[in-house]
Amino acid sequence: MRYRKNHKENTHRRVVEVAAARFRKEGLDGVGVATLMGDAGLTHGGFYSHFVSKEALIEEVIEAGMDESFARIIETSKDGGIEAFIRFYLRPSHREHPERGCPAAALGPEIARHSKATRSAFTRKLRRIVSHIDSLLPYPNAETAQAIFATMVGALQLARTVTDPELSDQLLKAGQAAALILARHRALGSARS
């Protein structure tokens, strides 16, 4: 059987896309390789022609997901700046669809328990996001940019965790308000003990 040109690359990309959605929705350890390959319309045996291990797939999924998040920041902040991005990130549809959202919020605690290579990939991509947030601030400051992103990720995680819809909405709004205050503030000082 002859395959079209770029068949392997297209198949590889499809597996990464399927895995990204499933991992964000069900967790890194909540989905097995056989399930992912089935969702991609492939056999379990074909997995190893694309990835040396599930951890290698996870690393690639994290990188691709953080790149998607970065692209959304660029797009949403193009006209509305940091405020538009904060409101976009902390919106109800992002809360309700982790499979299409930011991997930092959907998978952060799980990433912390994975390999150094996976955590390093996440770290590189996180630095790029924070650097761009910093560039959007009226008074650029790396610590402020870090605090804004940390506030947004935490607010989104909490909003997804609670069972009370009203409280969940309040957490999103509180996260928006806190991140906007940070964005308008001149700069955070260094934490001192």
> What tens digit of pLDDT does each residue of 66-99 get?
998 899 889 998 989 999 999 999 999 999 999 9
SS3 content of the chain, % helix, strand, coil (to 5): 75, 0, 25
Of 155, 162, 157, which Cα lies nearest the Cα of 178? 155
pLDDT at 2: 53
Distance CA 113, CA 96 (A): 25
> What tens digit of pLDDT does each residue of 12-48 get?
888 888 888 889 998 888 888 888 888 887 776 778 8
pLDDT at 7: 67
Listed by start position, the domains of the chain span: 55-184
Residue range 55-184 in CATH 1.10.357.10: yes
pLDDT at 193: 38
> What tens digit of pLDDT does each residue of 140-193 get?
899 999 999 999 999 999 999 999 999 999 999 999 999 999 999 876 664 443
70 vs 1: which has the higher pLDDT? 70
Label residue 3 by pLDDT band (50, 70, 90).
Answer: low
pLDDT at 5: 66
The number of beta carbons lying within 10 Å of the beta carbon of residue 69 is: 21
Percentage above 90 pLDDT, the chain: 57
Confirm if 152 and 181 have CB atoms less than 8 A apart.
Answer: no
Orientation angle between helical segments 116-136 and 103-111, nearest 10 degrees? 140
Return all residues near 86 (Cβ < 8 A) that are at least 6 apart: 148, 152, 176, 179, 180, 183
pLDDT at 48: 81
Label residue 113 by pLDDT band (50, 70, 90).
Answer: very high
How wide is the angle at C-alpha 151 spanned by C-alphas 150 and 152, nearest 5°? 90
